[in-house]
A and B are shown apart, each in its own frame.
Chain A
Amino acid sequence: MALNRSNKPQPGNKINFDPPHFNKFKLNNGLEVYFLPKTELPIVRINLVLNCGSRYDPVNLKGLANLVSMCIDEGAGEYNALQLSDEIDLIGAHFSVYSDDDSIHITLQVLAEHFDKGFELFKKVLLSPHFNEKDFEREKRKVLTRLIQFRDEPEYLANTAFEFLLFGKGDPYASPIPGFDTTVNSISNNDLKNYYSSYFGAENAAIVVVGSINENELRSSLNIFSDEWNNNVKKKDFQNDLNLSDKRLFIVDKKDSVQTEIRIGHLTSKRNEEDYYNKLMFNLVLGGQFTSRINLNLREKHGYTYGASSRFNYYKDAGIFNVSTSVGIENTANALDEIFSELNEIKNGVNEEELQFAKSSIIRKFPANFESYGQVASNFVGKIIYGLLDDYFDTYIEKIKSVELQDVNEAANKNILTGSLLTVLVGDYEKISEQLKTDKYGDIVKLDYQQLPEIS
């Protein structure tokens, strides 16, 4: 008998998944430690997260945290920059330092057999960086050259212009992490040293360790570490005041572009337990995955783009909702109209089938978030940054399951603010503006990216 292929096969027995349980403890110096033994491969992963990042950059020194993260491993302890890099390569370790808006991250991934050596090097970078003038000047010139290159990159222009205009000049989250030419030019090596002594303290940090290492061995390494890292940095206060604005549209002129980069969105409440899950659910339907309404509309129905998506992005003390895509320039207005129409439509809510799909995909995907050592560590770093509760991963699935259609639909109606949409387009001004001859987009402003820091 021929096989009947018309029915989708049913799943086998349900899989039980127990999320990883970290051991949490505090060292004498105040550093919070999260440790998870994970032994299927001989790998140890460390993520240290410092509560600082570019949001603390003084307004005239934007790009400071980024330069700190670039210079901190340019020589430390008895090693100069090149020797230090060699020592890391000799044990085949992956080591990185980078800054984002809320944090500076230092990460190490190393084979278990090289953990001791790797951790020694990690500590040298953290505790005894040189901050030499010569290395500083070189890295600063590198950033200034990179800023020139960014002017050619449409995604970068779109992302940074969008966030700058959304937060508004003066807000700590407004500026791009690498800063602007003028602000980077003003940064001195002393600023780096001051930043380091103001923020690099154990009580202002947390460390996540995942891997194939015995807990007693780890604890004795960490106790030594605790004695070595003793300074009195306290967590810094942070305040910002964010306001929604009227609907408006900016075109960053990039002559002869063949595509238009599009960003549309508005501010949203910062991450909190009450509405996080509801927002997550309706966004999955709207633009959070391949078969979302926005992607199917713009890509699979109209062929305007290679892909389109929407998201709620959260900083520690701010939230952003945005839609992003890149379309053939002749379809700029068409694509905008379709996006606006999807945003209007989602305010009417989603249906039960859409919600079930969203729930199912998130719940069943949950175990795959803990596959690699780096994934597990960064999931926990996320939990630390957002100050989520200790049982966050244990209760995650239950929380998703208990989301109700009515609450999701209220959240969609409340959290999509079509009257306050900021639109940023990067592309050929002449070709775009001739398509936008109506008032439905709000005020239209032409922008030269280099003038961005002056726009208030």
Chain B
Amino acid sequence: MKKTPNMELLDIEYEKYKLANGLEVILHKNNNSSLSAVNLWYKVGSANDSKGKTGIAHLFEHMMFQGSQNVPKEKHFRYIQEAGGTLNGSTSFDRTNYYEKLPSNFLEMALWLEADRMGYFLPALDQEKLNNQKDVVKNERLERYDNQPYGLAWELLITNLYSKDHPYNWPTIGFLNDITGYTLEDVSGFFKKFYTPNNSSLVVAGDIDLDKTKDLIEKYFAPIKPGAEVEELSCKTNPLKENILVTHKDKIQLERLYLSWHSDKLYGEDDAALDILSDILSGSKNSRLHKLLVFDKEYAQDVTTFQFSGKYAGQYIVIITAKPGITLDKLKAEVMHEIEKLISDGIKHREMEKAKNSIKSSFIFSLQNLDLLADQLNTYNFHLNEPNSFNYDLNRYNIVDEIKIINAAEKYLTKPNLEVRIVPEK
């Protein structure tokens, strides 16, 4: 037997400090390639949207690519691509990120670009750009949700699981009516409130010289004025008092069942156990629900389960597509029965071993791309206040035992649930 790979690999060296204006900086030197990665998190996501203005955090992400005082519209993309780099941004419930990966000799340009839109975005904002991006986002919504089979399921899940005042109650893309309604004042107000150096953290990773990089960050970011402190959202997740059933008609042929329960938040004490549970239920061909419903009985075309968790709340989700002629009642009964069986009969050692080994190798595999590594440093820093949490994170899974999973299944999955049924229009 050969020795296990050195977990020193997952011990990621870094330096972390704050500029006087509050910008948090995390540097990681890594000479595996001649690339460097810039990854900037603003601590604002759709959770910070408000009723009637849903989707503004996401729309704002689009606006950040519309130019700033010293960078004309489209030039952010143009300059990075000209340098051989790749770039994008994304918005989730909890945060918005922007990232570039490019040859390391162009690092200064990437920092200049990010600093310009952090500090000098407003002078370049105008109505024409806003109107254009509202149209683009409307089309994004149509393309990715409204015109996709089962495309509205996610929205139905979160709007029904979370109470109206919960920050996860609306989709990140926003409702169509809200998207059409944003004004310039909404956008500039949003910028002033959330896009401040003291509400963001910057990771620079890869083929970098630490001292020079610090100087460059100081040069471009230090002059940006801090803003008012952003208040933490206050948030209480109300449990479901009873089962909820939502049926939605869609342009589809095969019925699909979604079951969801409130569960633990990200990095909460049961979060890792629920990840392993989902591997046991549906992570492989021989996982319980897959074997039963897809392989043996052929009641289902596919089955997925997963723990979806964020800073403020989490939910456990089961998704099953019915084979023609199989009712969703039948599928639901089978799922509930399997969950009961797991709680009463326990879990085999081999099931645990499979899940844990898969998770272990996925940690090593995840180190291959510099941009993903940089984003993970920001993820850990945001949630755990410690960028180098790879070993801590892996250990969360290693210490989970059978009892912990059974307890988590019992604690969450025997409570009232939300059931969303997507059925064909007749």
Contacts and interface: CB of A to CB of B under 8 A. Distances in A.
B101 interface: yes
A327 interface: yes
B220 A3 contact: yes
Contacts, number: 221
A82 interface: yes
A289 interface: yes
Interface stretch (A28-36, A197-205, A254-262, A410-418): A254-262
B286 A82 contact: yes
Contacts of B219: 3
Contact of B135 (A40, A303, A366): A303
5 contacts: A113-B2, A154-B148, A289-B81, A364-B103, A368-B101
A5 B106 CA distance: 16
A289 B77 CA distance: 10
B403 interface: no
B131 A303 contact: yes
A365 interface: yes
A271 B6 CA distance: 44
B370 A371 contact: yes
B368 A371 contact: yes
Interface in B354-368: 354, 357-362, 364-365, 367-368
Contacts of A367: 33-35, 84, 103
Given A145-B323, A306-B140, A85 B285 contact: yes
B324 A306 contact: no
B254 A148 contact: yes
A9 B81 contact: no
A27 interface: no
A142 B301 contact: yes
Contact of B32 (A14, A40, A85, A363): A40
Task: Name which of B73, B74, B120, B135 has the most chain A CB atoms within 10 A of its CB.
Answer: B135
Contacts of B308: none
A257 B147 contact: yes
Interface residues of A, number: 78
A123 B34 CA distance: 36
B139 interface: yes
Interface of B: 2-6, 9, 32-35, 69-70, 73-74, 77-79, 81-86, 101-109, 112, 115-116, 120, 131-140, 142-144, 146-149, 219-220, 223, 251-254, 283-286, 291, 294-295, 298, 301, 321, 323-324, 350, 353-354, 357-362, 364-365, 367-370
Contacts of B3: 113
Nearest to B137: A306
B103 A328 contact: no
A83 B81 CA distance: 47
A275 interface: no
A11 B295 contact: no
Nearest to A83: B286
A388 interface: no
A296 B66 CA distance: 12
Contacts of B5: 42, 111-113
Contacts of B140: 306
Contacts of B369: 371-372
